[in-house]
Amino acid sequence: MTDFQAQAPLPALFDLQVNGFAGVDFQQPDLTLQQLQHAIRETRKRGIHRIFLTLITDEIDSLCKKFEQIEKYRAADPLLAESIPGYHIEGPYLSPKPGFHGAHPASKMKAPDLAEFQRLQDAAGGNIRIVTLAPEWDGSDAFTAEVSKKGTVVSLGHTDASEEEIDRAIAAGAKMCTHLGNGCPGEMHRHDNIIQRLLARDELIACLIPDGIHIPPHALKNLFRGKPLDKVILTSDCMAAAGAPNGHYRLGQLELEVGDDGVVRQPGRTNFAGSSLSLGRGVANFSRWTGVEIDQAWKFASTAIADLFDLSLPMLDPSDVSQALNDSFEKLASA
């Protein structure tokens, strides 16, 4: 593998789907201030100065308590407040169908509810910036229109929506696809499937995971080619194993393991449950596999995201950029 050497400063990285980092699982109800501070220090060492802390499917009361606690931590530490300018909530408004709910508990899936979402938003200090949902749920169009009007981006994911349901979601204000190419069964109709339906919609921003695991390099290249340049962003969708050694970790109530192949799985199961990727490594992967220049690939993981949410990013020295690009993720991603 050839190292990437940056020649000029670049904006800091912005990862909009981070479930945990450096051995810390953000889903735990007993998450401490010190644990969150440790995770954020480790992301910043890798050039990631902004994240949307992501909470996954749980009971609404539990999610509210988690948001309230994290908001107290942000209020207590200016570095946390700066590094976590908002939240991404992935669930419980997802599809409960086998394969589509992924590692999320299908029993907790439900139709989106505006009053309930306002409870979440109040607990989060108004900082929920992305909500991932399956638009086939009854009432999702009205929900999408209302939360979009108030500034939360609606992203389609863990869904088997029809073309008509996707049409209505876009008309209501949906803007993104969460981890396009994932959150669906391994076996589907070869043409009429949710990946193709979402990929065909130029109105939607495709969020891609460039770890070589969630999407094989050749498929990543094809998905990228299928989108306009201004409709691509990169994320890690990482969990606690990112920035940490192989081993056993938690993601909410799930017990997960990460082996030498870098894959995050529930023991004995084949589906993925988040990634162990650091975003700078993902940028390097994306450049290598698609042929896109590093500066352009870097934009997909920095300013393309910051601009979407009207947020600013600090500049990194070339040495920090090089360190982020050549981070220690050396498993399948470097094959």
Q: What are the residue ranges spanned by the domains of the chain? A: 12-334
**DSSP summary character for residue 290:** H
The mean-pLDDT minimum among 122-131, 182-191, 201-210 falls in 182-191
Cα separation, 172 vs 1, whole angstroms: 45
pLDDT band at 62 (very low <50, low <70, confident <90, very high): very high
Tell me the pLDDT tens digit for each residue of 78-127.
999 999 999 999 999 999 999 998 888 999 999 999 999 999 999 999 99
What contacts 24+ positions apart, CB below 8 Å, involve 26-33?
26/53, 26/54, 26/55, 26/70, 27/55, 27/56, 27/58, 27/66, 27/250, 27/251, 27/252, 28/250, 28/252, 29/62, 29/65, 29/66, 29/69, 31/66, 31/69, 31/70, 33/73, 33/76, 33/77
Q: If you average pLDDT over residues 13-26, what whole number do you get?
A: 96
SS3 263: coil
Return mean pLDDT, the chain.
Answer: 93
pLDDT band at 216 (very low <50, low <70, confident <90, very high): very high
For the chain, what is the largest distance between any 2 Cα atoms, rounded to a whole number of angstroms? 52
> What pLDDT is recorded for position 327?
84
Whether 250 shows a pLDDT value over 90: the answer reads no
SS3 153: strand
User: Is 128 within 8 Å of 89 (Cβ atoms)?
Assistant: yes
Whether 328 shows a pLDDT value over 50: the answer reads yes
Q: Any idea which fold 12-334 has? A: TIM Barrel (3.20.20)
> What pLDDT is recorded for position 270?
65
Neighbour tally for 30: CB within 10 Å: 6
> What pLDDT is recorded for position 333?
38
Whether 331 shows a pLDDT value over 80: the answer reads no
Tell me the pLDDT tens digit for each residue of 116-144.
999 999 999 999 999 999 999 999 999 99
Tell me the pLDDT tens digit for each residue of 45-55.
999 999 999 99
Question: Could you tell me the two tokens for 69?
Answer: 């606690």
Q: If you average pLDDT over residues 260-270, what whole number do you get?
A: 71
Whether 255 shows a pLDDT value over 80: the answer reads no
Cα separation, 6 vs 12, whole angstroms: 13
Cα separation, 226 vs 220, whole angstroms: 10
Whether 180 shows a pLDDT value over 80: the answer reads yes
